[in-house]
Amino acid sequence: MTALNGINLEIAQGEIFGIIGHSGAGKSTLIRCINRLEQPTSGSVWIGETDITRLGKRQLQRERRKLGMIFQHFNLLSSATVYENVAFPLKLEGKSRTEINRRVNEMLELVGLTEHASKYPAQLSGGQKQRVGIARALAPNPRVLLCDEATSALDPQTTDSILRLLLDINRKLGLTIVLITHEMHVIQSICDKVAVINGGIIVEQGPVIDVFLKPRETITQEFIKRESEGGEMFEEAIRAVHVPSSRTVKVTFIGELTYQSTLSQTVKETGVDFAILQGTISRIKETPYGQLVVRFEGDAASIDNTLRRLTEQRLEVEELQ
């Protein structure tokens, strides 16, 4: 059975790249190929200028130090303190006690756990355990951080705090992050680009804002619908209600257009009446976007003119009715 087929990804240095798919889609196999815990049957995996699929055992061990990894279930040493867990990979590298102490303290400060250094994993919350996992992964100073469902075992509030921490680490350290998940919220919150994997194949990829707002594939649309189920139900309901001489559309504003009065200025000039049936403003990472469901009322030519002028002003217009 083929787990992955025809995978072709390029992840830029300093990027947060998300890979989303259902259970069994091949996400974890893909991340294990990236650090060569799984050996691909064909193709190559390049980390910078090095093809790690061609390395011998000793060379591979050195190269893996450039790849940190955090896991869904933390994988901490239960009999070791927080300090000892973070120090563990540095001891394996043969670092001196002074180097280990300096680096561990730096990492614990970075993840906000300085006061918990002497505690054991059983004394920590889920979010604190994941912070230990992040500090341990970062201790050897990797170039890439691999995150395999790193927030799946956490509640929503803790998930958001871990995502903010990862974004902060990305900004401070310029670290490349590859993030495996089945939650579109995680992708939307911090990722720059995303690849959608299904049945071992990458079916769609690109900047998150493009994939999120203009999904081409059915599976991508399903992930997005799960994030906005109430909005989908509302759109279905208004499609079933007909108001004479009207058309209902969804208007999407992206970036600086989100906060401009483009809609009100346009309808003043075209002379159509309108009613806002629903509206939301949100963000995809740092980019704001707004979506309005609007019913335009008037003669057909005036409504056509309104929709055309909105499109000319770089708004996305999707007719619902």
pLDDT higher than threshold 70 for residue 239 = no
The confidence score (pLDDT) of residue 73 equals 86
Candidates 146, 122, 143; CA nearest to 134 is: 146
* Secondary structure element (H or E) that encloses residue 232, with its range: helix 229-239
Q: Is-contact 195 7, C-beta < 8 A?
A: no
- Which of helix, strand or coil describes residue 61? helix
What would the mean pLDDT of 96-113 be, rounded to a whole number? 96
Report the alpha-carbon distance of residue 320 to residue 237 in Å, rounded. Answer: 10
> 36-57 pLDDT, tens per residue?
988 888 999 999 889 999 988 8
Domains of the chain by start residue, with CATH: 16-225 (3.40.50.300), 241-319 (3.30.70.260)
pLDDT category at 146 given cuts 50, 70, 90 is very high
pLDDT of 320: 83
Tell me what pLDDT residue 271 has: 92
Mean per-residue pLDDT for 5-27? 93
What pLDDT score does 246 carry? 86
Cβ atoms of 196 and 203 closer than 8 Å: yes
CA distance 279 to 291: 6
What pLDDT score was predicted for residue 64? 86
pLDDT tens digits along 193-225: 999 999 999 999 999 999 998 889 999 988 887
Q: What is the pLDDT of residue 114?
A: 96
Question: Phi and psi of 191, rounded to 5°?
Answer: -85, 150
Per-residue model confidence (pLDDT) at position 229? 54
User: What is the reported pLDDT for 279?
Assistant: 87
